[in-house]
Each structure stands twice: as C-alpha cells, then as structure tokens.
Amino acid sequence: MKQLLLDAVDEAFDRRSWHGTNLRGSIRGLSREVARWRPAPDRHNIWELVVHAAYWKYAARRWLTGEKRGSFSLEGSNWWPRPEEDTDRAWKGDVDLLSREHGALRGAVGMFSPRRLNERAAKTPFTYAALVRGAAAHDLYHAGQIQLLKKLAPR
C-alpha cells in the first residue's frame, strides 16, 4: 500500500500519468507575469496556489511525522498574498519551495510504517493513508485550476 501512496503522490506532482497535467507540469515554464495574474481582485492567482499547495504538503507531512506547527518556511498558514516581491527570483523561490515540500512529504511517506497507514491520524477524522491520498488529490485539484487560469490569462 505504501508504494501505491508514493505513486499517487508522485503522479499528482511530477510523474507521468494517464490523467493529464500534474501540478509541477501545470507551472513548468510559466512566467511570473502569468503566475501573478488574477481573474478578479478577490480571487487567487497561480502564484498563491503554488504556495498554498506547498503549505498543504507540509501539513500532510506534519501529520505523518508528528511535527509541531510553526515550522513552515513562511509565517502564517494556508494562503499568502503573492507576489510579495514581483521578481523572477521570488517566483522561482516559491516554485522551489513547492518542490522541496514535495520531497519532504515523499520522504515522510517513504519512512512511515506501513502497519500504521490505516490508523486514524491524531486530531483528524482521517487515516494516515487517507491524508496521503488527500495530498495527491489536492495537487490535482489545483493543477486543474492552474490550467484554467493559464487559459484565461491575457497574453
């Protein structure tokens, strides 16, 4: 079961799969101009979705490892206004954050005891396996949003 979970997490993020574009593929080669574009003033842009996805990879890893809250690279939780600094370097930094958090989540799944996957995770109604599947589903959900935002963005 653990290998299936690792496959799901990887296919949703950066491995080839039948379902189409994964999260990493949805932002590959994307300019910061498109990443920062908003469909409306009160809506999230692609850049914010990238940081949000990084945070939830961190949160899923925390559930698996038992780490305490507060160790994410950015202060706060869930959503961060972007761009904070409107530069290519800042955009690349947030994409790198997403990749680092994916690697850390993947490492936590890889180290997790297979015997515990069907246990309910502390402070949630979900099993550890469900949390990992949810992290994969979360990536795909936002990959779809990003694909749509790219189509809508002015060029």
Bridge partners (DSSP) of residue 120 are 127
**CA 83 – CA 9 distance, rounded (Å):** 27
Quick check: helix, strand or coil at residue 25? helix
Report, as an integer, the average pLDDT of 108-116.
97
- Extended beta strands in 16-103, E state: none
pLDDT, position 68: 84
At residue 12 the predicted structure's pLDDT band, cuts being 50, 70 and 90, is very high
The token pair at 151 is 């189509």
Query: pTM value?
Result: 0.95
Residue 38 has a pLDDT of 97
155 pLDDT tier (thresholds 50, 70, 90): confident
Reduce the DSSP state of residue 9 to 3 states and report it.
helix
What's the domain range around 21?
A: 2-152
DSSP state of 2: H
pLDDT digits (tens, 9 = 90+) for 42-101: 999 999 999 999 999 999 999 999 988 888 999 998 999 999 999 999 999 999 999 999
Strand partners, 127: 120
How far apart (Å, rounded) are the C-alpha atoms in residues 147 and 21?
8
Q: How many distinct structural domains can be found in the chain?
A: 1
CATH of the domain at 56: 1.20.120
Q: State the Cα angle at 108 between 59 and 139, rounded to 5°.
A: 50
Tell me what pLDDT residue 69 has.
83
What is the reported pLDDT for 123?
85
Kindly state the average pLDDT of the residues 29-35: 97
- The answer to whether 104 and 57 have CB atoms below 8 angstroms apart is yes
Q: Residue 70: its pLDDT value, please?
A: 83
pLDDT above 90: residue 148: yes
